Amino acid sequence: MGTTTQAAATQYDVAAIMGGLYGDGIIGLKGAFDRDWVRDLGDDIAVLFEDALARPGGAVGRGPKRYYVEIHPEDIRGFLDLATHPWVTAVCEAVLGPEYKIVEIGFDIPGPGAVHQPWHRDFPAPEETITGRRLTSLAFNMTTVDVFEDMGPFEIAPGTQWDPPTDFEHGMFPPKSLYPRYEARAQRKMPKMGDISARSAITIHRGTANHSNKSRPALVLGVDAPGAGNAERHDLQLTRGFHATLPEELLRHLTYRLVDDLEPIVQAHTIEGLVMGEA
């Protein structure tokens, strides 16, 4: 398994990265990985999803026919490739600084019949963002399938990472009076296998209705700046054997618990407002 983009991180323009994430709140790289690599990732996710569905609390509902599953890095064959991809490291260093930490890995699966989610943030915007105008976390997403309009593509309202959370329920769900603003700005993202994106989880977004007969799995990698605190919502575990295979340069960018055997993850970041979908 290997990347098709092997250029050094210095080849990616810091100004473009910063401009995209501080402007629209989302950027992407097409063809970051080859399709065979992505097929392997999709196979791993399919097995993990079946296991999660069979385990109490293994898959967290994020709306009708829509699930999120948090996993262990060693559950997928391509973790090292993903976490050390030059574009991923360049984006993390540019926005979050040289001491960034990977705090979460998981996947979303909107299946056939998934409905529109309400517009939301993944968690309340921190004070550093609202008043300090600084992004302290990023979410990287990678689809395992080619996405088409009828498959419930991800939708984002560019620039809304800076919106004040006035009257936001739980600091995450804006009032419906603001929906016309988001819908006027909305962009639907339809990536292909191998593409990867980075976004601020604070930018207002939603999953849309899946009218197809196919699922749309997407891998999620969560990364923090020092002090952002999102690691508290997650439980990144490494077995001693897997830990020994990882380069020291990557280990210093992981917030993890070293274990002899992997333990089932108890999801600590449920989003109750997404369970019913959009009313």
Q: Which domains, and CATH codes, for the chain? A: 9-274 (2.60.120.620)
For residue 210, pLDDT beyond 60: yes
Handedness of CA 195, 198, 201, 202 (dihedral sign): negative
Alpha-carbon dihedral of residues 58, 44, 208, 30, nearest 10 degrees?
140
Residue 60 — very low, low, confident or very high, per pLDDT cuts 50/70/90? Answer: confident
Torsion-angle region of 77 (φ positive above 0: left; ψ -120 to 50: alpha; else: beta): alpha
Q: Is the pLDDT of residue 6 over 50?
A: no
**Residue 123 pLDDT level (bands cut at 50, 70, 90):** very high
Summarize pLDDT for 67-118 with one digit per residue, the tens. Answer: 999 999 999 999 999 999 999 999 999 999 999 999 999 999 999 999 999 9
Query: Model pTM?
Result: 0.92
Q: How far is the CA of 142 from the CAs of 12, 192, 194, 221, in angstroms?
A: 19, 9, 7, 9
In this predicted structure, what is the pLDDT of residue 7? 46
Q: Is the pLDDT of residue 269 over 80?
A: no
pLDDT at 232: 86
Q: Where are the alpha helices (DSSP H) in 55-190?
A: 79-83, 86-96, 127-130, 179-185
Give residue 55's pLDDT band: very low, low, confident or very high (50, 70, 90). Answer: confident
